[in-house]
């Protein structure tokens, strides 16, 4: 079997300290393969470029003005030359052997678009971490019993993709700038085209969740961004039946937001989404024919469909 080649893409914004923690272990994993290491510097002002040239001179540095997650990652995707593309947040640490498990997954199944891992987030309780598979808190050496599950969202923060499919689907839609929902949008379109996404419970990654977003944005800003992009996702992707249900439910959503205490961020998000409505609707046309409809996607991709439906409706 031909040895796979991997293009590892890490977007970073003023994250030199996070890269210093992330790169040593990743570099050791990449050495087993033909590889590119692509660091996308999204307008940093902390000397990331000088540090990288000194510490990792073989890395490819792609620089550009600060435009947010989707734009930064897309810059890297355009540079990817490997069979597979590893997307990794700068606040994500791979456990030994994780990359090998993900490579084996994609090599063994041509229907897969991407494979992600089990994300473990520190809880502050000694060596305990919160598990993305079940939401529970486990010891650091815990292995989840469920080895594999499907997922709707593309594993943008830590996952391996088929480069040809990633580029064919166009990467992440920059409609969702600066962040949130671009991973679900890409995953939705991969499933729609007939490709699958899985998560391997034994491919583990430690995630310092939201380290960059929480540094530079107030809660009201990222909460409003989440609402804005939720609505843009629905307007761009849902079929006629689900879209009608979504629109009919907006008054109920407004009342719910008022009494649940998040009316301000909800209104900011909706107001920010409306100017982008024409672009979202235009994106509905010109896509490849669907292999799965809305219900087919949800039935195939999601362990718990209600998780998404409760947010959209």
Domain residue ranges in the chain: 5-213, 217-312
Give 38's contacts (C-beta < 8 A, 6+ positions apart).
Answer: 7, 8, 9, 10, 59, 60, 62, 76, 79, 80
Strand partners, 200: 148
Query: What is the per-residue pLDDT for 216?
Result: 64
How far, in Å, CA of 293 to CA of 76, rounded?
A: 31
Mean pLDDT of 286-291: 84
The CATH number that domain 5-213 falls under is 3.90.550.10
Query: Do 148 and 198 form a contact (C-beta atoms < 8 A)?
Result: yes
pLDDT in tens, 13-69: 999 999 999 999 999 999 999 999 999 999 999 999 999 999 999 999 999 999 989
Query: Do 172 and 182 form a contact (C-beta atoms < 8 A)?
Result: yes
Q: Are strands 34-42 and 92-94 parallel, antiparallel or unpaired?
A: unpaired
pTM beyond 0.85: the answer is yes
pLDDT in tens, 164-181: 999 999 999 999 988 899
pLDDT in tens, 139-165: 766 666 567 889 999 999 999 999 999
Backbone angle region of 135, left / alpha / beta, with phi > 0 → left and psi within -120 to 50 → alpha = left
pLDDT score of 134 more than 80 = no
Mean pLDDT of 77-86: 97
Give 99's contacts (C-beta < 8 A, 6+ positions apart).
Answer: 6, 29, 30, 32, 86, 160
Query: Do 34 and 13 form a contact (C-beta atoms < 8 A)?
Result: no
Give 217's contacts (C-beta < 8 A, 6+ positions apart).
Answer: 225
């Amino acid at each position: 079997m031909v040895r796979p080649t991997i293009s590892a893409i890490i977007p970073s914004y003023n994250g030199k300290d996070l890269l210093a923690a992330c790169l040593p272990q990743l570099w050791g994993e990449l050495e087993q393969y033909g590889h590119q290491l692509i660091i996308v510097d999204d307008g940093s002002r902390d000397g990331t470029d000088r540090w990288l040239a000194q510490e990792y001179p073989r890395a490819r540095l792609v620089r550009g003005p600060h435009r947010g997650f989707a734009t930064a990652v897309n810059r890297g995707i355009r540079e990817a030359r490997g069979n597979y593309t590893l997307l990794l947040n700068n606040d994500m640490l791979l456990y030994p052997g994780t990359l090998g498990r993900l490579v084996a997954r994609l090599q063994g199944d041509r229907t897969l678009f991407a494979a992600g891992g089990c994300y473990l987030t520190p809880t502050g309780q000694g060596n305990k971490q919160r598990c993305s598979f079940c939401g529970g808190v486990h010891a650091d050496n815990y292995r989840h019993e469920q080895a594999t599950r499907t997922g709707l969202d593309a594993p943008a923060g830590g996952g391996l993709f088929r480069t040809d499919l990633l580029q064919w689907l166009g990467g992440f839609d920059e409609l969702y700038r600066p962040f949130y929902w671009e991973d679900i949008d890409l995953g939705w379109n991969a499933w729609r085209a007939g490709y699958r996404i899985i998560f391997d419970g034994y491919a583990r990654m430690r995630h310092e969740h939201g380290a960059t977003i929480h540094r530079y944005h107030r809660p009201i800003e990222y909460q409003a961004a989440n609402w804005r992009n939720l609505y843009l996702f629905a307007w761009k992707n849902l079929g006629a039946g689900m879209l009608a249900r979504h629109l009919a439910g907006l008054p109920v959503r407004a009342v719910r937001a008022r009494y649940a205490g998040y009316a301000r961020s909800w209104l900011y998000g909706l107001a920010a989404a409306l100017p982008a409505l024409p672009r979202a609707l235009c994106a509905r046309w010109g896509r490849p024919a669907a292999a799965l409809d809305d219900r087919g996607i949800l039935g195939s991709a999601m362990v718990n469909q209600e998780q998404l439906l409760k947010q959209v409706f």
